[in-house]
Amino acid sequence: MHLVAATEEQRVQRDTLTYSEWGKLLSLDGYAAREKRLRAHPWARSDMRTWLLCGEDGGVLASCETFRTGSFLRSDEGSLVPGDSFAIASVFTEEHLRGRGYATRLMDLLAAELERQPRAQAALLFSDVGPRLYARSGYQALPAWDWHLSPAPGDPSGPVDSLLREDGLGPALGRLRHPDVPFYFWPGPAQLDWHLERGRIYVEHLGCSLPASAGATAGASTILWGLVGRSAELTVLMLDARSTSETWALLEAARREASRSGLSRVVLWEEPSHAPFLALLKGGGAFRVARDGSLPMVRPLRPGLPPVSPLLPAPRGLWV
pLDDT single digits (tens) 169-194: 999 999 999 999 999 999 999 999 99
The model carries a pTM of: 0.95
Mean pLDDT of 202-216: 95
Determine the average pLDDT of the residues in 251-269: 97
The pLDDT assigned to 64 comes to 98
Q: What is the mean pLDDT of residues 26-41?
A: 96
**Domain architecture of the chain: domains with CATH:** 2-143+293-318 (3.40.630.30), 145-290 (3.40.630)
DSSP strand pairing (234-240 vs 266-269): parallel
Q: In the prediction, which pLDDT does 278 show?
A: 83
Q: What is the pLDDT of residue 107?
A: 98
What are the backbone dihedrals phi and psi of residue 142, each rounded to the nearest 5 degrees, phi first? -105, 160
Question: What's the confidence (pLDDT) of residue 279?
Answer: 79
Rounded CA-CA distance 84/40 in Å is 21
What integer is the mean pLDDT of 234-251? Answer: 96
pLDDT of residue 276 exceeding 90: no
At 89 the pLDDT is 97
User: Could you give the strand order of the β-sheet that contains 215-218, starting from the edge strand earlier in sequence?
Assistant: 162-164, 215-218, 221-226, 234-240, 266-269, 145-149, 286-290
> Per-residue pLDDT tens for 90-117?
999 999 999 999 999 999 999 999 999 9
42-59: per-residue pLDDT in tens?
999 999 999 999 999 999
> What integer pLDDT is reported at residue 77 of this predicted model?
86
Nearest alpha-carbon partner for 212 in 262, 273, 252: 262
The CA distance from 276 to 246, in Å, is 12
